[in-house]
Amino acid sequence: MRQSCLFISMSRLDLVFPAEKLEEFNCGGQLQIYFLFNPVLLFFKKNLRQIFASLEHFGNCHFAQPAQQRNRQYNSVQIYSKTAMSSEPRNRQQTLALRKQFIGASCKLFFPEDPVKIIRAKGQYMYDENGNQYLDCINNVAHVGHCHPEVVKAAHQQNLLLNTNSRYLHDNLVDYAQRLSKTLPEKLCTFYFLNSGSEANDLALRLAQQYTKHKDVIVIDHAYHGHLTSLIDISPYKFRNLDGQKEWVHVAPLPDTYRGLYRENHKDPATAYADEVKKIIDKAHQESRKFAALFAESLPSVAGQIIPPSGYFQKVAEHIHTAGGVFIADEIQVGFGRVGKHFWAFQLQGEDFIPDIVTMGKPIGNGHPVACVATTKEIAEAFSATGVEYFNTFGGNPVSCAIGLTVLDIIEKEQLQAHALHVGNFFMELLNQQKAKHPLIGDIRGVGLFIGVDLVQDQEKRSPASKEAEFIITRFCFSLWMYHSGSWAS
């Protein structure tokens, strides 16, 4: 544990680590500070309550009982802003009880049998109310690290100046669109800004249907594209638990070379899987149905961290274009350099593959609600030709764009794309070493920091080890957060 100094002023707290730059904490909530050495804590116990009682901006000061982590004992001090806290801090069970009382039961928690109460995060780590540290391998939103100081600063500074809608001219909006355009193929040059990946995918569907004047959509099995009604309809992961498949939605086999129809020993799995899409199109045409789009995650994530065989998207795009539709690449989970080799996951297929529409979300704002749709001039003009204005109250607001620009700056400045490739390769190497020792590990697949470990009961039969996967996730949740995906949750 590092020694820390706490600087107190009338409006803020500054926690200084001697070996690091100043880290500033605005007191809009709770700050927890750990001291390894008891003499420091004794000083605070003697003086801190008196100091904070004299400052109108601050509220309670609570001293927690010693806790144990990694065989080292520490003490914690929790300080609360009066504007955020008017009573003693709640324990985990109290918070859980209030959640059950006021929050919809369908809003699920991670580790529901023993949910974790998180009070702060920094970089790749999250911390619970007892000071336990967790390596966060679940949340793919904090793309440049939780609470990155430059992102926090950008949001704060722009909020001090202006935050409004996009019906006014503002440089942040056009600067951000221009920066994003430089990461994409030239034809993807028109942008719409929104607040979530679901909004982005919903708009992408509207763009495709308006441009083609058709409705039918092909999606990949086990896909998830969002929580809006329009997206539940095109998400097999969801609609199979609800009302079922709509007649205008067509499901293509997941291009999985480990468990799928055509596996790694097939001479040309890309063509074989693409031919399945062609069969769907031909059958639909016999029924006089016409296609608006093929909608696919560039790397299926909810389906189990799937890496489509090289050349698959090119062949599928050819089929959907011949059928009069467009190709929509959902980059919401996997974009912004996560795959290491490229900025966008669809680029893994090769330079000769360019989607007609690309959707972005999650990591785009590092936790701030931002999303985007990129498309061609032709598709955008067809959408405008309806005469119906597209307006999103918060989409493209100055604060969101300032944050988005800063995230791009950090990815470039800190070389995070190259870092994802380096760390991902190292991690895959370590995992493959474990695979050689443990028959439970059936497959390790991934690129950059998009990695899946498929657990099996039998390596030859490849029967999924779902219970074992659940046990491992629960067993390691005290320090390392992982989660299961795929139709077998293995």
User: 3-class secondary structure for the chain?
Assistant: CCCCEEEECCCEEEEECCCCCCEEEECCCEEEEEECCHHHHHHHHHHHHHHHHCCCCEEEEEECCCEEECCEEEEEEEEEECCCCCCCCCCHHHHHHHHHHHCCCCCCCCCCCCCCCEEEEEECEEEECCCCEEEECCCCCCCCCECCHHHHHHHHHHHHHCCCCCCCCCHHHHHHHHHHHCCCCCCCCEEEEECCHHHHHHHHHHHHHHHHCCCEEEEECCCCCCCCHHHHCCCHHHHCCCCCCCCCEEEECCCCCCCCCCCCCCCCHHHHHHHHHHHHHHHHHHCCCCEEEEEEECCCCCCCCCCCCCCHHHHHHHHHHHCCCEEEEECCCCCCCCCCCCCCHHHHHCCCCCCCEEEECHHHHCCCCCEEEEECHHHHHHHHCCCCCCCCCCCCCHHHHHHHHHHHHHHHHCCHHHHHHHHHHHHHHHHHHHHHHCCCEEEEEEECCEEEEEEEEECCCCEECHHHHHHHHHHCCCCEECCCCCCCCC
pLDDT digits (tens, 9 = 90+) for 242-295: 878 999 999 999 999 999 999 999 999 999 999 999 999 999 999 999 999 999
Confidence of residue 406 (pLDDT cuts 50, 70, 90): very high
Does the pTM surpass 0.85? The reply is no
Kindly list the distances between the CA atom of residue 14 and the CA atoms of 64, 435, 453, in Å, as whole numbers in the listed order.
21, 46, 41
Judge contact between 232 and 207, C-beta under 8 A. no
Task: Tell me what the mean pLDDT of segment 371-383 comes to.
Answer: 99
Confidence of residue 103 (pLDDT cuts 50, 70, 90): very high
Strand pairing class (133-136; 480-481): parallel
Give pLDDT, residue 140: 85
Rounded CA separation 417/342 (Å): 8
pLDDT digits (tens, 9 = 90+) for 193-225: 999 999 999 999 999 999 999 999 999 999 999
Residue 456 buriedness (CB in 10 A; 0-12 / 13-18 / 19+) = buried
User: What token pair was written down for 35?
Assistant: 């001291």
Rounded CA separation 458/435 (Å): 13
Rounded CA separation 244/232 (Å): 10
pLDDT digits (tens, 9 = 90+) for 35-78: 444 444 444 444 554 544 544 444 444 444 444 443 333 344 44
Check whether 160 has a pLDDT greater than 50.
Answer: yes
Judge contact between 347 and 179, C-beta under 8 A. no
R_g of the chain computed on alpha carbons: 25
pLDDT digits (tens, 9 = 90+) for 219-243: 999 999 999 999 999 999 999 888 7
Strand pairing class (72-81; 30-35): antiparallel
Q: Tokens 């009961």 identify what position? A: 457
Judge contact between 328 and 362, C-beta under 8 A. no
- CATH class for the domain made up of 149-414: alpha beta
